[in-house]
Amino acid sequence: MRRANIAPLSPKEMLQEKSLSETEEGFPTAPAPGHADTSAGSPVLGVAGGSSTPLSSPQLPDPEQTIENIKVYLHEKELWKKFHEAGTEMIITKAGRRMFPSYKVKVTGMNPKTKYILLIDIVPADDHRYKFCDNKWMVAGKAEPAMPGRLYVHPDSPATGAHWMRQLVSFQKLKLTNNHLDPFGHIILNSMHKYQPRLHIVKADENNAFGSKNTAFCTHVFPETSFISVTSYQNHKITQLKIENNPFAKGFRGSDDSDLRVARLQSKEYPVISKSIMRQRLVSSHGQLSAKPDVNPLHGNHQSLQHYQYENGAHMQFAASDTQDLPLNTFTAQRDSGLFYHCLKRRESARHLDLPCKRSYLDASSSVGDDHYFRSPPPYEQQMLSPSYCGEVAPREACMYSGSGADIAAVSAVDDLPPPPPPLSCNMWTSVAPYTGYSVQTMETVPYQPFPPHFTAAPMMPRLPAMAGQGSQPPGNGPFSVYNQLGPAPGRERGPASSFPRERVHAAVCERKPPSPHLNAANEFLYSQSFSLSRESSLPYHSGMGTVENWTDG
DNA sequence: TCTGCTGGCACGTTTGAAAAGG
DNA sequence: ACCTTTTCAAACGTGCCAGCAG
């Protein structure tokens, strides 16, 4: 008997979640010799622009402590590449669908004792809507307004570098949905749009809490993980790849067993080719089955992006692989999205970071996290109209941070920047820019206002100004910029780092517990981060240069 | 008519609980 | 009584398809 979507979790389920989220021992903390993922997101500094050294950053801290030492290797990169070459599609459903291949990374270079938060967001890769025509993806118009931006925070967060490096970090339980009012905290996407997942690593050390001047983070982007969201598969090749590689789809395996199964279902003696398959095959008969790189919208680039904010506040991004691949996404449109304003957490406690973990059915070395989302608010209209967001708590225990009143001090960034925006409510959207970015970001931090445990759609929701100027911002050519630091929030409650009990970290809004300092801080950080992302310029990343996009308040 | 979305379905995997055995 | 192994069923993930809506 299947559980209703909104049914509360049983203890069994919670236990199950626990086992899934536990990490696995024994994973090497350093890439194996000859590791194939030499360019898989490894934050090799200086690759961008042909430099071999980190872009200058005054007062760099101890290299052992700096976040640019962190290297991230995409797990199953070859599989990702297979999908990418065919044009990865990810099913989105109302109830939420996992990604396959799932997003798993191996992280090295962390300070073993420093705490980090790992999280993923999925941003529009461009501002087009696509259609599958002639066996390839083609632009079908302008993208629809972005869905509320949500973030998936790895449930182990925060955890020490040793923890992250010990095992594969899996975001397997991340789910995608097209339900604008999704109450489960899944990442909301638009169908037939192209997206780019991004991994953020945020330093959350006890001596370097979020919101402090020393907050450091980096962003890793693996272009091969970009995908087009669909409600049903368009490319038969993708379907076959999924069936072949996803154990849950084993039922469809066989020598083109999908057709055989159709025949079986229809009590026919001979295989019956389904409509969709037939259509695809017909198309394939006169077209190239495999999308060519130049026509495949998913072939934007094959570089991994690293975006650093040095602990002294300097931000920079690096492309970490071959530079001959230029990004295709050079538009500058900004997309609105939501500011994460709470997270969803299925399980609260009983997770021990250092417990031996069980093997995942998908990957013997995977660490499967449970759902742990930061969630952005719905569009303003939705907030006003949708009671589901206002009062009801998702069964998965939405972690809306009532907040401690912590603010992030607004700071000015680059000289060229316009005046800092007005204080932003936590109810505001993050501005999730299309994935363009290989440029300097401007980290603007803005006052953070906590939201009530039960989000009531505060009417003040100024859209981030970037949205107003979609596609209108000319790329600049300014030099690499140094960001201002994240300023400590005045009056912010920031408990000692040791006071980060997971129970509090996972405090659900329904329990009306005060949020974890870490999560609050993460929230703030992400908020500011997302805000900064809204200003990514569209300069090709390989240049190592960038500018701040023009934007105005209001 | 076409395209995209939804819900139900069958099939398979995973996993915890219960049962069985030592 | 305790521990280990085996069995079982529920929960869940998956792609497919018919039907529906715009």
DSSP lists the bridge partners of residue A500 as none
Secondary structure element (H or E) that encloses residue A248, with its range: none
CATH fold, domain A67-248, is Immunoglobulin-like (2.60.40)
Q: What is the pLDDT of residue A15?
A: 30
State, as a whole number of angstroms, the distance between the CA of A285 and the C1' of B2: 21
Q: From CA A527, how far away is CA A547, in angstroms rounded?
A: 21
The closest nt to A250, taking CA to C1', is: B12
Phi-psi region of A512 (alpha: psi -120 to 50; beta: other; left: phi over 0): left
State, as a whole number of angstroms, the distance between the CA of A17 and the C1' of C19: 35
Secondary structure element (H or E) that encloses residue A308, with its range: strand A305-309
State, as a whole number of angstroms, the distance between the CA of A190 and the C1' of C16: 22
Q: Who's near A106: CB < 8 A, 6+ residues apart?
A: A27, A31, A37, A72, A73, A75, A168, A169
Q: Is the CB of A1 under 7 A from strand C?
A: yes
* Whole-structure pTM value: 0.59
Q: From CA A466, how far away is CA A472, in angstroms rounded?
A: 10
Phi-psi region of A52 (alpha: psi -120 to 50; beta: other; left: phi over 0): alpha
Burial of residue A477, with CB atoms counted within 10 A of its CB: 0-12 exposed, 13-18 middle, 19 or more buried? exposed
State, as a whole number of angstroms, the distance between the CA of A129 and the C1' of B5: 16
Q: What is the pLDDT of residue A105?
A: 94
State, as a whole number of angstroms, the distance between the CA of A468 and the C1' of B1: 37
Look at the block and give the residue holding tokens 């969630």.
Answer: A375
State, as a whole number of angstroms, the distance between the CA of A19 and the C1' of B20: 25
Q: What is the pLDDT of residue A204?
A: 82
Rg of chain A in Å (alpha carbons): 22
Q: From CA A32, how far away is CA A26, in angstroms rounded?
A: 13
State, as a whole number of angstroms, the distance between the CA of A49 and the C1' of C22: 49
The closest nt to A245, taking CA to C1', is: C14
The closest nt to A233, taking CA to C1', is: C15
Q: From CA A475, how far away is CA A536, in angstroms rounded?
A: 10
Q: What is the pLDDT of residue A76?
A: 92
In tens digits, chain A (554 residues) has pLDDT values of 333 332 333 333 333 333 323 333 333 333 333 333 333 333 322 222 222 222 223 334 454 557 888 999 999 999 999 999 999 999 999 999 999 999 999 999 999 989 999 999 999 999 899 999 888 899 988 888 877 678 999 988 888 899 999 889 999 999 999 988 888 889 999 999 999 999 999 988 655 545 455 678 899 999 999 999 999 999 999 999 999 999 999 888 764 433 444 433 333 333 333 333 443 444 443 333 333 334 455 554 444 555 555 444 444 444 333 333 323 332 223 333 333 323 333 333 333 333 333 333 333 333 333 334 544 433 333 333 333 333 233 333 323 222 222 222 222 222 333 333 332 222 223 344 555 443 223 222 222 222 222 222 222 222 222 222 233 332 222 222 222 222 223 223 233 222 222 332 232 222 223 333 444 445 555 544 443 333 332 222 222 222 222 222 22
Residue A524's nearest CA partner among A210, A85, A291 is: A210
Q: Are A333 and A306 in contact (CB under 8 A)?
A: no
The closest nt to A178, taking CA to C1', is: B5
User: Which positions of chain B lie under 7 Å from any protein Cβ?
Assistant: 3-7, 10-17
State, as a whole number of angstroms, the distance between the CA of A1 and the C1' of B15: 15
Q: From CA A35, how far away is CA A28, in angstroms rounded?
A: 11
CA A349 from centroid of its chain's CA atoms? 24
Chain A 219..278 CB hits on strand C (< 7 A): 232-233, 239, 242-243, 246, 248-249, 251-252, 258, 261-262, 265, 274-277
Provide φ and ψ at A262, rounded to 5°. -60, -45
Q: What is the pLDDT of residue A346?
A: 30
Q: From CA A169, how far away is CA A5, in angstroms rounded?
A: 27
Chain A 137..156 CB hits on strand C (< 7 A): none
The closest nt to A7, taking CA to C1', is: C11
Q: What is the pLDDT of residue A291?
A: 37
Residue A401's nearest CA partner among A494, A528, A504, A534 is: A504
State, as a whole number of angstroms, the distance between the CA of A354 and the C1' of B20: 33
Q: Which residue is nearest to nucleotide C15 (CA to C1')?
A: A249
Q: Which residue is nearest to nucleotide C10 (CA to C1')?
A: A1
Q: From CA A280, how far away is CA A234, in angstroms rounded?
A: 8
State, as a whole number of angstroms, the distance between the CA of A239 and the C1' of C12: 20
